[in-house]
Amino acid sequence: MEKLNILRIGVVLVVLSLLFSASDGFAQLKSKLLLNFDYIAQSQLKDPIPGFPGSDQAEWEMFTGEAEFSFPLFAAYETRGRHKIPKRALINKLSYQRKVTQERLSGLSDDHFDGLNYTATYLQRLGGGPWYLNLIGGIGIAADDLGEVASDDAKIQAGILFDHTSAAGWTWGLGVIFSQFTGDNLVLPLIHLAKESDKTKFELLVPKISFEYKLGNQTTFGLVGELEGDLYTVTNSDVTLFDGQGNIVKENVGIELAFSEFKFGPQLKLSPQPNVTVAVHAGVSVARRFELLAKDEGKTLRFPPGSNGAGEKVDFDIKPNAFIKAVINFEF
C-alpha cells in the first residue's frame, strides 16, 4: 500500500475545489468560514475493558475542533415568495476536524483522530417545475495519523436526493447516500422535510433535525439533534483475526475505529454583525460508540483465545454525558 503524504492530499483537495469553482457560467456568492469547538465532560465506559486494569474507574473527556470553508457557486435564480431560489448551484466544501480523547484516571489512552474532507453538492431544478435534483460527491481521509495513511484509506461519499417544493412553503425529498456518519461504510436512505415562516424554521435532513424560533432580528432559539460519526483508520496496527475455535482466519489485518454519537439539546444563535453568527449548543450526547473493527472485513475485533477477556468485543463505548458546543460562522 502506497503511503499518502498529508501535504499532497491537501493540495489535491484544494485543486479539486478550485477546478469546480472555475466552472464556466457560475457566479460566486458569499463564501463561508465555520469554526466549531465542542467539549464533552468526563464519562465512564459502559463496560470495563478485559485486560485493561483500572478500566472500570477510567473516565474519558473529549474535545473537538473543526474548520470548514465552503465555496457556494450559483448560475441562476428564481424568486419564490420572499426568497431567491437557485435554479442551478454548485457548492464546494473543504473541512478539517481534530477529535481529542483524554483519559485521566488510569492512563489507558490519550489519543487524537483527524479528518480532512472535500465535498461537492450540485443542485439542478428539473424542467421548470417544483422538483430539484441534488447530487453529492466527496472524498476524505480520517485517521489517528494522517501522515501515515495509505492510498486505500481514502473514504468516498456519494448521494442523490430529489426535493419537491410546494406552494405552501413545504420542502420534502427522498434519496440515498453512501457515507460514514454512522461509523460504518453504509448505504442509507436520505429523508428531507423542511418548512420556514417569518418566525419559525423546521428542517429534517438525515442525520440532523432542527427547529428554530426567531426571538428578534439578531436572536434565534431552537432545538437541534444530530448523529455524528466517522470511520477512522488506526495506522501501524495490523492484527490477526481468529474464529470462535481459536483458528487463524486472516493475518496482517488493519484496524479501523468506528465512532458515532447522537447529540440533542437547545441552541441559541446571535448575529452581532450582518455577516457573523455565533451559536451555542448544549445538551446530552448519547449512543456513544467507540468500536474497533477489522479493516475491509466489517467485523468487530475480539480479544484472541488465551488472553484476558478472550472472545469479548474490543470496544470503548462511553456512557452518555453533557456537552457544550460553540460555532462561529463568517460570511464574506
- pLDDT for the residue 19: 42
Q: Looking at the predicted structure, is the pLDDT value of residue 152 above 70?
A: yes
- pLDDT tens profile 284-324: 999 998 888 887 666 776 666 555 555 556 677 889 999 99
Q: Establish if 55 belongs to a structural domain.
A: yes
The answer, yes or no, to whether the previous bond of 72 is cis (omega within 30 of 0) is: no
Is the separation of the CB atoms in 114 and 149 below 8 Å?
no
Q: Establish if 319 belongs to a structural domain.
A: yes
Written as one letter, the residue type at 220 is T
- pLDDT tens profile 45-87: 887 776 666 777 778 889 999 999 998 776 566 666 666 666 7
Q: Looking at the predicted structure, is the pLDDT value of residue 16 above 70?
A: no
Written as one letter, the residue type at 297 is E
- pLDDT for the residue 84: 66
**This prediction's pTM:** 0.82
- pLDDT for the residue 167: 80
The count of domains in the chain is: 1
| pLDDT > 90: percent of the chain | 44
Q: Looking at the predicted structure, is the pLDDT value of residue 228 above 90?
A: yes
Q: Looking at the predicted structure, is the pLDDT value of residue 5 above 70?
A: no
Cell reading at 14: 484544494
Q: Establish if 1 belongs to a structural domain.
A: no
Written as one letter, the residue type at 183 is G
Q: What is the mean pLDDT of residues 179-191?
A: 91
In the block, residue with C-alpha cell 453529492: 136
Q: What is the mean pLDDT of residues 150-163?
A: 90
Q: Establish if 239 belongs to a structural domain.
A: yes
| pLDDT > 70: percent of the chain | 76
- pLDDT for the residue 43: 87
Which range of residues forms the domain containing residue 42?
6-331
Measured between alpha carbons, how far is 208 from 123 in angstroms, rounded to an integer? 20
User: How far, rounded to the nearest angstrom, does the alpha carbon of residue 304 sit from its chain's CA centroid?
Assistant: 32
Q: Quick one: three-class SS letters along the chain?
A: CCECCHHHHHHHHHHHHHHHHCCCCCEECCCEEEEEEEEEEEEEECCCCCCCCCCCCCEEEEEEEEEEEEEEEEEEEEEECCEEEEEEEEEEEEEEEEEEEEECCCCCCEEEEEEEEEEEEEEEECCCCCEEEEEEEEEEEEECCHHHCEHHHCEEEEEEEEEEECCCCEEEEEEEEEECCCCCCEEEEEEEEEEECCCEEEEEECCEEEEEEECCCCEEEEEEEEEEEEEEEEEEEEEEEECCCCCEEEEEEEEEEEEEEEEEEEEEEEEEECCEEEEEEEEEEEEEEEEEEECCCCEECECCCCCCCCCCECECCECCEEEEEEEEEEEC
Q: How confident is the model at residue 1 (pLDDT cuts 50, 70, 90)?
A: very low
Instruction: Output 276 or 71, whichever has higher pLDDT.
Output: 276
Q: How confident is the model at residue 248 (pLDDT cuts 50, 70, 90)?
A: confident
**Of 130, 122, 125, nearest to 158 (Cα)?**
122
